[in-house]
Chains A and B, each alone.
Chain A
Amino acid sequence: MADNLLLESAERGDWTVLSVKGEVDLYTAPRLKERLTELTGSGHTRVAVELQGVEFMDSTGLGVLIGALKRCKEAGGTLALIGPREPVVKVLAITGLDKVFPIHGSVEDAAGS
């Protein structure tokens, strides 16, 4: 069955950028987890997850991001969230994860922080 999640990764300088578009929930989160695991497991420790195109994310998606952040940190790197929309910002705030993830408006901001 088709799902509503598009994933595209690219290198920008020292950062690996994963662009996420669509909806992240229990159905689509496994694909996001798989892609992030591939990236973080292949030596990419500076990962920026672009969320401008994410229309919806629930706690399943947050759990995937937390796992990826942990792996990056264990490897001495970091995982930043880029440009989350207001509904995603609200879920991050309610769960307190807005204080856990570096959140920036652009990859350039993340790189400069």
Chain B
Amino acid sequence: MTLGGDRFTLEVPADPAYIGTARMFASTLARHFEVADETVEDLKVAVSEACSRALSGDPGDQITIRVDQLDGRLMFEIEQADAPGSNPPTNGELAAGVSLELVSALFEDAEVTPTTDGSVLRFSVT
């Protein structure tokens, strides 16, 4: 984990064993910024779903969680790089499936964007 100004970053191996670590990072940070308890619980679900989604395909070596504090909001990005040779998503729409439907139900601005070698899920927490 690195602390750099208003950006906080956690990199974990792409392994289900570390999803709990990702939840702990996100919830601890949210509580530090006095996010409401119910929203923190929503955040834990969103992070867990995002990590599970990242692991459901053909993940690369790690999952990166970035949090930017901006104008009273916490902007979350959960990024994973697909393993070489796998097929990344080709559009910005939320993919079908319970995981992302759950995230979008909890955080209305949730959005998946393809990257050059994977995808990134973004949502914000107030």
Contact = CB atoms under 8 A, between A and B. Distances in A.
B52 A59 contact: yes
A56 to B, nearest CB: 6
Given A25-B16, A27-B16, A87 B45 contact: yes
A60 B52 contact: yes
Contacts of A95: 98, 101-102
A56 B44 contact: yes
Contacts, number: 52
A56 B17 contact: no
Given A56-B44, A59-B49, A60-B52, A26 B19 contact: yes
Contact of B45 (A1, A26, A27, A91): A91
B55 A58 contact: no
Contacts of A1: 17
B84 interface: no
In terms of DSSP, what is the predominant structure of the interface of chain B? helix
Given A58-B52, A90-B41, A91-B45, A25 B102 contact: no
A interface, size bucket: 10 to 19
Interface string A11-39: 00000000000010111000000000000
A56 B42 CA distance: 10
Interface string B92-126: 00000011011001100000000000000000000
Contacts of A10: none
Contacts of A25: 16, 19-20, 23, 48, 52
Interface of A: 1, 3-4, 23, 25-27, 56, 58-60, 62-63, 86-87, 90-91, 94-95
